[in-house]
Amino acid sequence: MSDSNAIEEGAPTSWGRRLGLILGPVLALALQTLSPPEGLSPQAWWVVSLTVLMAVWWVTEAIPIAATALLPLTVLPLLGAASVKEAAAPYADPIIFLFIGGFMLAACIERWRLHERIALSIAALAGGKPLALVACFMTASALLSMWISNTATTLMLAPIALGAARALSPPGKPDIALGGALLLGVAHAATIAGTGTPVGSPTNLIAIGFFERAGEPMSFAAWMSQALPLILIILPISWLLLCAPLFGKRHDDTRAAADSIRQALVKLGPTTTPEIRVGLVFAVVALAWMFRGQFSALPVLGKMTDTTIALAGALSLFLVPSGRGHGEKLIDWARAERIPWGIAILFGGGLSLAAAMETTGLAVWIGEWIVSLDGLSTFALIAILIVTTIMVSELASNVATLTSMLPVIVAIAAATGTPLHTLAFPVAIAASFAFMLPIATAPNAIAFATGVVTLKRMMSVGFALNIVGAVVLIVFFA
């Protein structure tokens, strides 16, 4: 599921924010001192300025990026590029309600600590053996992060992984090699596997929304069928890179590590009725997402969409009793309203800006300009987009990076006749593949904050993973 802290990932320093606050309007207004390029209307030229302003403010986070996403609703009617109704419509796009429903399901899972039980149960299978322990923690992180927040997954698993590392170190101080492998393994597995489902990351949902608006909808099952092979390739490679310092190294106190994990599992107590019930609701929703295509011929179920499935699942949480009596349900509104509504606004802002690019003719003009560039093959175009996205995501929010790039990608796809999926899907995945720096993603920052992961190791492993991710994406999609 999308990160609750996703809009803070890659946050610049305070001086960077101040610079962006000034630089954005200066660049936007400076463009208006120039004549619009040939074939571009004045309204479209103003949309270019708005795009530049939003891109600068998104990248530097001069103001909260959800607040920046309100600019189209405020500015487009003033520019004559869209009416208030037209600018506001994308903020209620069905994809936003898919996000809301999915996040309510995740909030309920976290409320009853079902995600923690699943993770600990998987980790307990390792029996305290270092290489197996890293693999089990990464597996637990991957499975959870496909459905709930990458940040929540890392926050929950990091202390357990740290305890296991300490248990394997006689003095009680975490083994740097093992501790680093465990903490980075949890963080990187969450990031990698978060790309596995449409609800696994904000960037996935943003891409899905653009596909929908472009008339090329992508189903839940179709997304997973393309993303899971990537995960199955990249996760084992990341395990090898992280465990390289551990090969041939002895760890005598494996029993202590196994006991540490087992004790954490015992503290949870027996499986509770609410856990069982929310698990059943979630299983039904996940199966409906994956097999929706098989219901297409049925009278009522054939009209289901991923959004209606998510909302039906979320609504059922308010109806199903928790089993603890006193009329308590699986979720209440006080907990449900804690979901990050700012990301929903962010989605709407990106979609509204893209719609303005289309209605003013800016998208067509960009596409025609790209087509006029000779000698740029589809392979080269995809490779450039993937590498650029990964590099930018190391320093800026992955959400802001993708939201800024997708309108241009939509225009390029339309102009070149390339299917939108061919260009946008690998870029959406690449936006999440930022492994080098603590500021790149919230999971990276959490792992680094433990003090077990050195910056040198994070950068060396992260650089290698960035290359692996870029190569795999290019091979698969170029």
* Residue 276 placed within a domain: yes
Q: How many CB atoms lie within 10 A of CB 435?
A: 29
* Residue 84 placed within a domain: no
Lowest mean per-residue pLDDT among 48-62, 152-166, 264-278, 416-430 = 152-166
* Residue 138 placed within a domain: yes
CA 197 – CA 368 distance, rounded (Å):
33
Beta strands in 274-411 (DSSP E): none
Number of domains forming the structure of the chain: 1
Residue-wise DSSP of 423-437: HHHHHHHHTT---S-
Q: How many CB atoms lie within 10 A of CB 49?
A: 19
CA 40 – CA 364 distance, rounded (Å):
10
Res 170: pLDDT: 52
* Residue 272 placed within a domain: yes
* Percentage of residues in the chain having pLDDT higher than 90: 18
Residue 452 tokens, joined: 């077990």
CA 255 – CA 257 distance, rounded (Å):
5
Instruction: Determine phi and psi for 97, rounding to 5 degrees.
Output: -75, -25
* Residue 8 placed within a domain: no
Contact 411, 370 (CB under 8 A): yes
* Residue 133 placed within a domain: yes
DSSP H helical segments within 244-305, as ranges? Answer: 254-268, 273-290
**C-alpha of 64 from chain center:** 18
CA 220 – CA 18 distance, rounded (Å):
40
Q: How many CB atoms lie within 10 A of CB 129?
A: 15
Q: Residue 122 sits in which domain range?
A: 95-336
For 58-64, what is the mean pLDDT?
Answer: 81
Tell me the residue length of the chain: 478
Confidence of residue 46 (pLDDT cuts 50, 70, 90): very high
Structural element, H or E, at residue 10: none
CA 97 – CA 344 distance, rounded (Å):
8
DSSP H helical segments within 176-253, as ranges? Answer: 176-193, 202-213, 220-243
The better pLDDT of the pair 16, 474 is held by: 474
* Percentage of residues in the chain having pLDDT higher than 70: 84
Res 395: pLDDT: 62
Q: Which long-range contacts (CB under 8 A, 24 or more apart) does 323-331 make?
A: 323/272, 323/273, 323/274, 323/277, 324/273, 324/274, 330/108, 330/111, 330/112, 330/274, 330/277, 330/278, 330/281, 331/104, 331/107, 331/108, 331/111
Res 244: pLDDT: 84
Residue 356 tokens, joined: 């303005």
**Residue 329 in 3-state DSSP?**
strand
Tell me which range, 147-161, 205-219, 391-405, 422-436, is most confidently predicted by mean pLDDT: 422-436
* Residue 198 placed within a domain: yes
* Residue 52 placed within a domain: no
Res 7: pLDDT: 38
Name the residue among 137, 238, 248 with its Cα closest to residue 182: 137
Q: Which residues of 198-236 are buried (b: 16+ CB within 10 A; e: fewer)?
A: bbbbbbbbbbbbbbbbbeeebbbbebbebbeebbebbbe
Q: How far is CA 183 from CA 2, 91, 462, 473, in A?
A: 20, 37, 13, 25
171: left (phi over 0), alpha (psi -120 to 50) or beta: alpha
Residue pLDDT, tens place only, 266-286: 888 888 999 999 989 988 887
Res 34: pLDDT: 92
Confidence of residue 96 (pLDDT cuts 50, 70, 90): confident
Name the residue among 443, 305, 471, 407 with its Cα closest to residue 3: 443
CA 48 – CA 33 distance, rounded (Å):
13
